[in-house]
């Protein structure tokens, strides 16, 4: 059995590079430990651990044990430190106050939890030689080390957490579905070399994810009735889908139309259909006679752009559509 661990520091929402490590560990491991590396109080942020848990749950990354916090295992590290000495190979293992540094804590944890594969970013590669020696000094077989490439920004440097879409929380807030982010990270796999962050690829996957969601699921995520779903399918992200839903749900502010003849014709066609409106055919007919579809959209939603017009007509109850037309007339 391959036993892996994902070990973020509680510094807030996951950087996409850390999220890549989480997804890669889950793909490699049969069993995964979630460990919070909080041995450096100066780096720990209030709410940082909660943000990480929210990100992992949103991404659908499950763990089998944890979260285990290194701050709660200091007695165990002190015991190991006494055996090895406060310094090892010129590296400090125990601070003056008796607390363990990262180098000691991480190896002791990996020994105690039986970790067989360590999957982490290339920035940890310099630690491998020391960690191997520490495993052996503790009488343990070193695990298999797998170092993957880092996610870089457009400038070829490590992606800044402040860059657009660089954290899982920022992607979530932008309305990117979790399925799109997870699929992007799974496509990267365990890259041997550094990769440039491809936010446009995530945005393309977001459109695919929205189109693939079942009607009820999409409606629930957007907070819209199922009847509005056809109008939501063309959205580029869930944020835009919510804007579409709001435009349909909220009557526009009254404004006199510039194309009364188009609205009168719309009313006539709807009333003639007697409750059986074929919205696509209706829009085609208005278009064929040179109808002002922009004015019709404005009357129905108060906006010049949005989902396909036929989907708006389908989503609106007939009485409400006619009431909005009358208000514009």
DSSP labels, 40-84: -TTT--TTHHHHHHHHHHHHT---SEEEEEGGGGHHHHHHHHHHH
Same domain membership, residue 245 and residue 144: no
Domain limit, last residue, from 151, 176, 201: 151
Evaluate whether 221 touches 253 at the Cβ level (below 8 Å). Answer: no
pLDDT of residue 43: 87
Domain limit, last residue, from 101, 130, 151: 151
Same domain membership, residue 10 and residue 98: yes
Flag whether 35 is in a domain.
yes
Nearest CA to 152 among 195, 202, 184, 191? Answer: 195
Same domain membership, residue 12 and residue 145: yes
Same domain membership, residue 146 and residue 7: yes
Same domain membership, residue 144 and residue 27: yes
| Helix/strand/coil for 147 | strand
pLDDT of residue 117: 98
pLDDT of residue 80: 96
Low-confidence ranges of the chain (pLDDT < 70): none
pLDDT of residue 260: 94
Residue ranges of alpha helices (H) inside the chain are 16-28, 48-59, 74-84, 102-112, 128-137, 168-173, 178-188, 199-212, 215-222, 229-232, 238-249, 260-273, 279-288, 293-301, 309-315, 318-328
Nearest CA to 108 among 138, 130, 133? Answer: 138
Phi, psi of 170 (to 5 degrees): -65, -35
Same domain membership, residue 139 and residue 46: yes
Flag whether 216 is in a domain.
no
pLDDT of residue 119: 98
| Helix/strand/coil for 258 | coil
Flag whether 100 is in a domain.
yes
| Helix/strand/coil for 30 | coil
Flag whether 128 is in a domain.
yes
Flag whether 156 is in a domain.
no
- In sequence order, the 6+-apart residues with CB closer than 8 A to the CB of 90 are none
pLDDT of residue 44: 87
Same domain membership, residue 127 and residue 42: yes
Same domain membership, residue 17 and residue 130: yes
Domain limit, last residue, from 106, 134, 151: 151
Same domain membership, residue 329 and residue 236: yes
Domain of residue 45, CATH code: 3.40.50.620
pLDDT of residue 256: 86
Domain membership of residue 294 as a residue range: 222-329
Same domain membership, residue 231 and residue 136: no
Flag whether 205 is in a domain.
no
- The count of structural domains within the chain is 2
Same domain membership, residue 140 and residue 8: yes
- pLDDT tens-digit profile of 238-279? 999 999 999 999 999 878 889 999 999 999 999 988 878 899
């Amino acid at each position: 059995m391959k036993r892996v661990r994902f070990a973020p520091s509680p510094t807030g929402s996951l950087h996409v590079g850390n999220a890549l490590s989480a997804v890669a560990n889950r793909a490699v491991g049969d069993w995964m430990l979630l460990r919070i590396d909080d041995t450096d109080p100066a780096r720990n942020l209030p709410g940082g651990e909660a943000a990480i848990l929210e990100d992992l749950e949103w991404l659908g990354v499950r763990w089998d044990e944890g979260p285990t916090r290194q701050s709660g295992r200091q007695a165990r590290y002190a015991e190991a430190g006494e055996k090895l000495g406060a310094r090892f190979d010129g590296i400090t293992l125990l601070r003056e106050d008796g607390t363990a540094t990262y180098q000691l804590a991480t190896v002791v944890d990996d020994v105690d939890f039986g970790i067989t594969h360590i999957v982490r970013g290339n920035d940890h590669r310099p630690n491998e030689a020391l960690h191997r020696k520490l495993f052996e000094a503790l009488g343990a077989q070193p695990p298999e080390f797998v170092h993957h490439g880092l996610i870089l920004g457009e400038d070829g440097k490590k992606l800044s957490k402040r860059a657009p879409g660089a954290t899982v929380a920022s992607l979530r807030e932008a309305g990117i579905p979790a399925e799109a982010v997870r699929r992007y990270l799974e496509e990267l796999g365990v890259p041997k070399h550094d990769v440039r962050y491809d936010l446009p690829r995530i945005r393309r996957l977001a459109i695919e994810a929205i189109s693939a969601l079942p009607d009820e699921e999409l409606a629930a995520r957007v907070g819209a009735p199922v009847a509005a779903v056809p109008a939501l399918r063309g959205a580029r992200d869930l944020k835009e889908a919510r804007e579409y839903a709001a435009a349909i749900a909220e009557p526009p502010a009254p404004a006199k139309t510039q194309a009364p003849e188009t609205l009168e014709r719309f009313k006539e066609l709807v009333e003639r259909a007697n409750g059986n409106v074929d919205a696509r055919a209706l829009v085609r007919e208005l278009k064929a006679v040179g109808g002002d579809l922009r004015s019709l959209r404005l009357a129905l939603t108060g906006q010049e752009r949005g989902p396909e017009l036929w989907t708006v007509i389908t989503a609106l109850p007939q009485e409400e559509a006619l009431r909005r037309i009358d208000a514009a007339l």
